[in-house]
């Protein structure tokens, strides 16, 4: 009888082990289902740099901040107003809300744009820092990068909320980039795309982007040249030097004036307007040169806009370069 009781105990133990094993397999399958759906699971890391929206992100420390359907977010139309909201990044970056109270203006007409920079709580960020004399820089570019505008929306009575008057020169798609510094001092940007029409309803064809064969342009009575310390390559630090000479005499220009607290500003976008860089001159010599440093994130064509001030006028000089 003792042997029979021991055999029964062994059978019960084996049955219990089988049940526990089955439960363990089921639990593992259930947890893997959570992982596949992207839900939080212990020891599963969520997100990386490649997962961030292509049109929004935090700036590199070297690349200080600063031309629309939303790159990420929802579009809502109500009473003629168009709202395009981009949520904050997964890493806690500020978000941006884009509102056209009277709708997106047609080409040639001026429309009011309201930009709200939102904190992690989704409310207007009242602690934005002044960055090169402004809290918000608004860059506007056409899809083919032939149009460029660098604007400074005015903050309303509510901190973190800004208004700007925007005039699109031609029908087509435009990217709007909000460039700002958060309360903790980090440089960030958010962007959106907008489609505008015109009297004809036809979009204006833009010239295909091509690398400039000569990096010298005439601008406001000056010959402005761009040179690199070496052939620009993706992922490598590059030094950009702008040189200024009188167009008539060739004499070096030495009377450049500070623009927004710097000797010059450079805005850079790749051909698809996915990579945005905004850098400032290393020093303030007043000419005849101005040097900038940046790192191109990928190979391909990039358009570079150098902005300088002379005799009270803002001079914008564009170049297109190929990065290896």
Of 50, 59, 167, which Cα lies nearest the Cα of 105? 167
What phi, psi does 214 have (nearest 5°)?
-125, 130
Q: How far apart are CA 324 and CA 318, in angstroms?
A: 20
Residue 196 has a pLDDT of 94
**Order of all β-strands in the sheet with 161-167:** 75-78, 81-86, 95-100, 110-118, 161-167, 154-155
- Record the pTM: 0.72
From the number of C-beta atoms within 10 Å of its C-beta (0-12, 13-18, 19+), residue 155 rates as middle
Chain segment 144-202, per-residue pLDDT in tens: 999 999 999 999 999 999 999 999 999 999 999 999 999 999 999 999 999 999 765 56
pLDDT mean values, one per 10 residues, the chain (324 residues):
48 47 35 23 20 26 26 29 36 85 96 96 95 96 97 97 97 96 92 86 80 97 97 97 97 95 95 94 87 97 98 97 98
Q: How many CA atoms lie within 13 A of 156 on its CB side?
A: 14
**Which helix or strand (DSSP H or E) is residue 10 part of?**
helix 2-36
Give me the pLDDT at residue 130, please: 95
pLDDT, position 94 = 85
Beta-bridge mates of residue 142: 174
Contacts 24+ apart (CB under 8 A), 29-38: none
pLDDT at 91: 53
């Amino acid at each position: 009888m003792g042997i029979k009781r021991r055999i029964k105990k062994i059978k019960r133990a084996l049955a219990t082990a089988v049940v526990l094993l089955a439960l363990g397999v089921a639990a593992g399958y259930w947890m893997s289902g959570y992982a596949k759906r992207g839900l939080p699971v212990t020891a599963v890391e969520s997100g990386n740099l490649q997962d961030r929206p292509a049109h929004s992100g935090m700036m590199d420390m070297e690349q200080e901040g600063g031309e629309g359907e939303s790159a990420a977010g929802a579009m809502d139309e109500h009473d003629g107003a168009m709202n395009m909201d981009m949520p904050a990044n997964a890493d806690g970056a500020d978000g941006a809300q884009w509102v056209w109270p009277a709708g997106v203006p047609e080409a040639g007409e001026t429309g009011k744009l309201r930009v709200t920079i939102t904190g992690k709580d989704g409310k207007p960020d009242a602690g934005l820092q002044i960055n090169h004399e402004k809290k918000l820089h608004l860059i506007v570019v056409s899809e083919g990068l032939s149009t460029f505008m660098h604007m400074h929306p005015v903050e309303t009575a509510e901190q973190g909320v800004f208004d700007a008057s925007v005039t699109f020169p031609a029908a087509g798609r435009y990217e709007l980039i909000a460039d700002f510094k958060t309360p903790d001092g980090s440089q960030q940007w958010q962007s959106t795309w907008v489609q505008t029409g015109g009297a004809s309803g036809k979009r204006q064809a833009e010239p295909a982007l091509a690398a400039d064969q000569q990096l010298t342009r005439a601008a406001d009575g000056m010959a402005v040249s761009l040179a690199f310390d070496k052939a620009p390559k993706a992922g490598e630090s590059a030094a950009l030097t702008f040189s200024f000479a009188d167009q008539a005499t060739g004499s070096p220009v030495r009377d450049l004036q500070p623009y927004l607290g710097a000797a010059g500003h450079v805005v850079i976008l790749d051909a698809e307007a996915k990579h945005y860089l905004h850098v400032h001159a290393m020093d303030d010599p007043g000419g005849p040169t101005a040097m900038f440093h940046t790192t191109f994130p990928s190979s391909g064509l990039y358009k570079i806009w150098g902005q300088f001030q002379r005799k009270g006028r803002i001079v914008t000089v564009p170049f297109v370069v190929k990065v290896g």
